[in-house]
Structures are given as structure tokens and as C-alpha cells.
Amino acid sequence: MELSLLINRFDVQGHLVVINPMGEGNVNDTFLAVCRNTFDEHQVVLQRINRNVFPDPYAIMQNLRRLTAHAHPKLAAEEAANADRIWQMPMIVQTKDGKDFFTDENGDVWRIITRIPSATAFNSAQGTEHALECGAVLGHFHWLVSDLPPEQMREPIPDFHVTPVYLQKYDEVLRDSPSARERIGTSMEARRLSIFIEQRREFAFTLCRALERGDLKLRMMHGDPKVNNIMIDNFTGKGTAMIDLDTVGPGLVHYDFGDALRSICNHAGEEELNLSKVTFDMDLCEAFCKGYLREAREFLTEADRAYLFDAIRLISFELGLRFFQDYLAGNVYFKTHEPEQNLNRARVQFRLCESIESKERMIRGLLEKL
Ligand code: GN1
Ligand code: MG
């Protein structure tokens, strides 16, 4: 179906002027639509939910409805109390017949959300002030959802951040796919990554076991808080919103904390080919943690804090493992432009994981002092 016809199904004010692809997501298809009439303009974000990644798009939309119903009144109350600091969250734009999404003739689910205006999501950290704001935005988001009971939300992707499950998928692809075994057999780099994984098998269970023991408890998490999902106000430079809310669901806030840091503290980004450029930046880490703890201190327990270092180390390992597994499986999950891209993404994350490991004492010291 034509994008302009799709827009017409929704209750968007004004006439469509332009609709263009937007963002750098690895999963959903995202477009920015600008609609105008004589006296005003509305910019909205149209997305097709990737059914390959989100097996139940309706659950995603139900979650988004629950999340916004919970968070928007809290945001409004905050604004009433202090108009100097405005936090935002996108809003669902319904279809003309009052639904939260539209299903097309192929069974694809489309939805529209409002765009956070006058704000930018950067693809990499712009400096310590930016990193601090990113931390504050994530901390504030966790505060917003800290009283949303996890049992009220559905799991957007089964076992999305359960690292041992990715180990299992990796083992399965090696067991079941001769071409995956061949890749490891013929590429030295792939073999090196497989050894890297073997050396960290036990470690992969760290957060799950802490949850089983009851040291950590299930809360609401964002699920994908990388740097370009954090919006910064163009005028004030202050963080204003978390976007990309599809993965919000029950989990450990630790994965979010680690995921944000692994993306913010790596200047080289996820696609770097020169591994020597991939390191974990301590100044950005310190700034992020300050911003995060400013907002999150209230609900983080001592036990939570004890696992923060492991979280940073684990998420770079987990993401590297996910990229590598997808490479071995023939690139079926993450979008790619060339066949070795997921292999290279895995190399970057594992190098970052090594950098984090080599800075363990410094990172732990920092986390204790804050
Ligand atoms: C995917 O689509 P995007 O870029 O927002 C992935 C995240 C990864 C990220 C790495 C649902 O997010 O978990 O951290 O790529 N999202 C999903 O770039 O798998
Ligand atoms: Mg995402």
C-alpha cells in the first residue's frame, strides 16, 4: 500500500507534504511524515512493525498504550510542578476509526506516533555533557515506569534480554546448520569469536542467577536505550525523551544501564572496521553514571548497584553474541547491507567487551564513588 494512502487511514491533522525514511533502526521500517495546513504543521512518525522480530505486534501496541497511559499523567504532573524542566514521551496517533494501529492487506501492522519536535537523537556521544543528559533521560525513564507493575506488560520479544538464551540459539545454529559450521571452519576471525564466547560461557549467566537468587528483581525496562534512542532538546541541550518504545517490558534495568553505556562510551560506533578504534571511554562513562544516578538513586538498591559493572560487561557480550549468531544463521534478524556486516558488528562488540574487562577496577571504583 502507498505510504500516502496509509497516512490517510490515521487521524493526522493537515495535508501530507512529504514522507521520507527516517532513522537508522536495524529492525522496523520508519518514516517521517510532514503534514500541513494553512496555520500549522504536524510531524509524525509512521512505522511498520517488523513481524519477524516482534512475533506479536498487537502485544507491542497494547504495551505502548499501557506505557503511555501510565507515564503521560506523571509527565503532566511534573510539568505542572516544574515548567523549567520538561520531559516528553511520544503519543499514539489513532486511526480514523479509533484504533491504535492499522493492519494492511499483507497482515503488516502500521502505527503512527507523534514526533518529539525540536530535539535530536545523536548517533554517537557528543561529549560529557551529552553523556550526562543521556544518563538523566534513562534514569528519568526508569523512574517513570518504576511504579508500573511488570505483570501488566507483555513480553515484547520472548526472552529478549536473557543472555543464556542467546547462547542456546548460538549452540543450536552450530548444531543444525552445516553452513554455520563451515563459516567457523574457514574463517579465522569467526573462529576467534567462537573462542571468545567459550571463555565467557559461565559469565553469561551472571544476571539471570542474581534474579533467580532474588538479589535482583524484575522491573520495567526500556530494552533498547542506545544513544540514538535518547532525544536531546535542540535549544537547551537537555535530555528530553526516550524513543523507540517497542521493547519496553518486564526485565532488569541493568540491561538498560549496560546497553546505554556500551553505545555511548564507544566513539567508534557499531560499524567500525578498525578494531583499534573501539574502546570504552571512562569520561563519558562517569558523566552518564552521574546523570543516571541523579534520577535513579531513589529506587536503586544496594544489590542493584552491586551488579552494575557486570551489566556493562554483559550487554556488549550479549549484543556481540546476537550479531555473531545472526551472521552464522545467514543474517535473518538484523538488517544488513553486506554479508559480513553482522560478523563485523560482533567483532566490535567483543572488542568493546574486552576494553570494559580491562577497565574493570576503574569502572567499579567509579560506580562505588558516585
Ligand atoms: C536493534 O532497530 P534498532 O537499531 O533500534 C535491536 C537492539 C540492538 C540494536 C543494535 C528489537 O535495535 O536490541 O541493541 O539493534 N533491537 C531489537 O544496534 O532487536
Ligand atoms: Mg530498537
84 CA → ligand 1 middle, Å: 33
φ and ψ at 52, to 5 degrees?
-70, -30
Instruction: Kindly state if the Cβ of 197 falls inside 6 Å of ligand 1.
Output: no
- CA distances in angstroms from 153 to 65, 158, 171, 247, listed in the order given: 10, 13, 30, 11
Beta-strand (E) ranges in the chain? 15-21, 29-36, 41-48, 92-93, 102-103, 109-114, 119-120, 219-221, 230-233, 239-242, 249-251
Report the pLDDT value the prediction gives residue 370, as an integer from 0 to 100.
Answer: 86
CA of 90 to the centre of ligand 2 (A): 15
Which atom of ligand 1 approaches the CA of 157 most closely? 11
- Whether 26 shows a pLDDT value over 80: the answer reads no
Say yes or no: CB of residue 316 within 6 Å of ligand 1. no
Q: How far apart are CA 175 and CA 188, in angstroms?
A: 19
pLDDT digits (tens, 9 = 90+) for 125-152: 999 999 999 999 999 999 999 999 999 9
Q: Which ligand is nearest to the CA of 258?
A: 1
In a 13 Å sphere around the CA of 265, the CA atoms on its Cβ side amount to 30
| Any ligand 1 atom below 6 A from CB of 26 | yes
pLDDT at 181 over 90: yes
Q: How far is CA 140 from the centre of its chain?
A: 15
Residue 190 CB burial class (10 angstroms; 0-12, 13-18, ≥19):
buried
Atom 7 (ligand 1): residue with closest C-alpha? Answer: 224
* Per-residue pLDDT band at 297 (split at 50, 70, 90): confident
| Span from the CA of 25 to the centroid of ligand 1 (angstroms) | 7
What is the distance between the terminal CA atoms of the chain, rounded to a whole angstrom? 52
Ligand with minimal distance to 333 CA: 1
37-54 confidence digits (pLDDT tens)? 999 999 999 999 999 899
- Predicted pLDDT at 299: 87
Residue 154 CA: distances (Å) to CA of 141, 157, 158, 238, 262: 18, 9, 9, 31, 26
pLDDT at 290: 97
Domains identified in the chain and CATH numbers: 3-115 (3.30.200.20), 128-369 (3.90.1200.10)
**What is the CA(368)–ligand 2 centre distance, in A?**
31
Task: Record the cell numbers describing residue 268, joined without a space.
Answer: 567508534
Half-sphere exposure of 239 (CA within 13 A, CB side): 27
User: 311-361: per-residue pLDDT in tens?
Assistant: 999 999 999 999 999 999 999 999 999 999 999 999 999 999 999 999 999
* Residues lying with their CB under 5 A of ligand 2, a single-atom ion: 224, 244
Cell digits for 163?
543472555
- Please give the pLDDT value at position 274: 98
Find the ligand nearest to 54 CA.
1
| Span of 18-27, 57-66, 206-215 with lowest mean pLDDT | 18-27
pLDDT, residue 1, reads: 79
Q: Is 115 in the pocket of ligand 1 (CB under 6 A)?
A: no
Across the range 233-250, mean pLDDT stands at 96
State the pLDDT at residue 69. Answer: 98
Q: In the chain, what are the helix, strand and coil shares in percent, each to the nearest 5?
A: 50, 15, 35
161 lines ligand 1 (CB under 6 A): no
Cβ(23) – ligand 1 distance below 6 Å: no
The string of pLDDT tens digits covering residues 84-128 is 889 999 999 999 999 999 999 999 999 999 999 999 999 999 999
Of 327, 309, 322, which Cα lies nearest the Cα of 349?
322
Under DSSP, the state recorded for 43 is E
Checking if the pLDDT of 171 tops 80, the result is yes
Identify whether the C-beta of residue 248 lies closer than 8 Å to the C-beta of residue 221.
yes
User: What pTM, to 2 d.p., does this model score?
Assistant: 0.94
Distance 121 CA to ligand 1 centre (A): 15
Ligand 1 nearest atom to the CA of residue 28, by list position: 2
Q: Is the CB of 256 under 6 A from ligand 1?
A: no
Q: Answer yes or no: is the C-beta of 247 below 6 A from any ligand 1 atom.
A: yes
Q: Is 276 exposed, middle or buried (0-12, 13-18, 19+ CB in 10 A)?
A: exposed
- Atom number of ligand 1 nearest to Cα 244: 5
Query: 109 has which bridge partners?
Result: 103
pLDDT at 23: 81
Mean pLDDT, rounded, for 248-259: 96
Mean of pLDDT values over 174-202:
97
Q: What is the percentage of the chain residues whose pLDDT exceeds 90?
A: 95
User: Lowest mean pLDDT: which of 23-27, 41-45, 263-267, 286-290?
Assistant: 23-27
Find the mean pLDDT for residues 53-61. 94
Minimum CA distance residue for ligand 1 atom 5 = 25
- Mean pLDDT (whole number) for 265-280: 97
Strand arrangement, sheet containing 119-120: 119-120, 230-233, 239-242
For the chain, give the percent of residues with pLDDT over 70: 100
Residue 180 CB burial class (10 angstroms; 0-12, 13-18, ≥19): buried
In a mutational test of the pocket of ligand 1, which residue from 26, 49, 63, 318 has the highest number of ligand atoms less than 8 Å from its CB? 26
- Tell me the one-letter amino acid at 160: F
Distance from the CA of 96 to the center of ligand 2, in angstroms? 27
The CA 341 to ligand 1 mean position distance, Å, reads: 14
Q: Is the pLDDT of residue 59 over 90?
A: yes
Mean pLDDT for all residues in the chain = 96
Which atom of ligand 1 is least distant from the CA of 50?
Answer: 11
Helical (H) or strand (E) element with 19: strand 15-21
| The predicted structure's pLDDT at residue 330 | 96
